[in-house]
Amino acid sequence: MRQHLISTRATQRQCPTCRTPTLHALVDGLSVTVDAAPLAGQANELDALLRNLSTYTLTIIRKELIHRTAPIIRRPRQIPGTIHAQHACPIRQPAGTQLELPFMEST
Ligand SMILES: [Zn+2]
């Protein structure tokens, strides 16, 4: 029995930190939270991957999340569903924060 590798149906949640609507599910036994809003296209998926965020396909019928590994992304025939990026809370700068640049001497 491989009960520790279970996958569950995705359910809607709100991120307790940033209040963004998200989807939560177990994927092969791992707890996964993705943005509820699907990615608009391949460029957005590439952007998420470059930010070191995993992407998942939300299957149409079973509403499960499938981790999009490189072989899955390269498949010519894709799993029907929408693509979602792993949720990461947006970084917010406190109001009035001024960024300091390191001092550089002119030559
Ligand atoms: Zn968040």
Tens-digit pLDDT profile for residues 63-104: 999 999 999 999 989 889 999 999 999 877 666 666 676 776
Per-residue pLDDT, averaged over 7-21, amounts to 96
12 Cα: distance to centroid of ligand 1 (angstroms): 13
Interval between CA 31 and ligand 1 midpoint (Å): 15
Indicate if the alpha-carbon torsion angle 2, 63, 25, 79 is positive or negative: positive
Q: Which residues pair with 68 in a beta bridge?
A: none
Domain ranges of the chain: 3-85
Q: How many residues does the chain have?
A: 107
Ligand 1 being an ion, which residues bring their Cβ within 5 A of it?
15, 17-18, 20, 89
Nearest to 37 by CA among 54, 51, 17, 58: 58
What residue type is assigned to position 7 of the chain?
Answer: S
Cα(72) to centroid(ligand 1), Å: 27
User: 54: pLDDT confidence band, cut at 50, 70 and 90?
Assistant: very high
Task: Say whether pLDDT at 38 is over 70.
Answer: yes
- What is the number of alpha carbons within 13 Å of residue 74 lying toward its C-beta? 3
Structure-token pair, residue 44? 């957005």
- The alpha helices in the chain, defined as continuous H runs, are 42-50, 70-74
Q: Report how far ligand 1's centroid is from the alpha carbon of 20 (Å).
A: 6
The per-residue pLDDT for 76 is 86
